Amino acid sequence: MTIRVMLVDDQVLLRTGFSMVLAAQPDMEVVAEAGDGVEALQVLAATAVDVVLMDVRMPKLDGVEATARICARPDAPKVLILTTFDLDEYAFSGLKAGASGFMLKDVPPGELLAAIRSVHSGDAVVAPSTTRRLLDRFAPMLPNTAQEPGSDRLQRLTDREREVMLLVAQGLSNGEIAARLVLSEATVKTHVGRILTKLDLRDRVQVVVLAYETGLVRAGGHG
């Protein structure tokens, strides 16, 4: 299956560079480009896209708001935020808006391609440890979780699923969780799938965000 990618960035040279890297892959195709969020939404209305590479700082409509509008659509494509800095409040806002992860703009080509494939498959999260560092830094911006309705959602989980969710939120991969809990990796993957379904989440990044919002994980701590 060919992964249909859209590039959204106000820097033409950067889009051209990414496009060249992606075009060389047998399983990827750049089907659309846009220079700002407004144009991205217009193009998406008429183009089938699987993964959007989204810059955050753009004129007219920034990448965070564009991401929120895209992710609110039925059958929305996955969104990967592109940021200049490792710990960027824009990337945090992008994750809150529904992005599946974020990458640095100077990411090595191999890592970018792996991230696109991972996000497309829904199997993994982009740099969960980096996502966790980001949340540790910006978690104080989250609302007081004591009255958060999201905490009630966790009651839907079994004790084992809650345990797996906590480890996902700490940035562990399926393999690392399997080793920690003495389970097979396939079993962990099944648990993660059930967590996503029960909590109505799109991917592992949203698991991490919800874990912080509900207080399952505290900033700088392990829950």
Indicate which CATH number applies to the domain containing 26.
Answer: 3.40.50.2300
Of 201, 31, 22, the C-alpha closest to 122 is 201
Residues 103 and 179 in one domain: no
Instruction: Say what the pLDDT of residue 147 is.
Output: 44
Q: What is the pLDDT of residues 54-68, one digit of tens each?
A: 988 888 888 889 999
Whether the pLDDT of residue 145 is over 50: the answer is no
**In a domain? residue 137:** no
CATH label of the domain that carries residue 205: 1.10.10.10
Q: What is the pLDDT of residues 35-47, one digit of tens each?
A: 999 999 999 999 9
Higher pLDDT, 167 or 131: 167
Query: How many folded domains does the chain comprise?
Result: 2
DSSP string for residues in 11-41: -HHHHHHHHHHHHTSTTEEEEEEESSHHHHH
Tens of pLDDT, residues 5-41? 999 999 999 899 999 999 999 999 999 999 999 999 9
pTM of the entire structure?
Answer: 0.73
What gap in Å lies between CA 98 and CA 211, rounded to an integer?
Answer: 15
Residue at a domain's end among 72, 93, 126: 126
120, 152: one domain: no
Specify if 37 maps to a domain: yes
Q: Are 47 and 69 in contact (CB under 8 A)?
A: no
Domain hosting 65: range is 3-126
State whether 120 and 21 are in the same domain.
yes
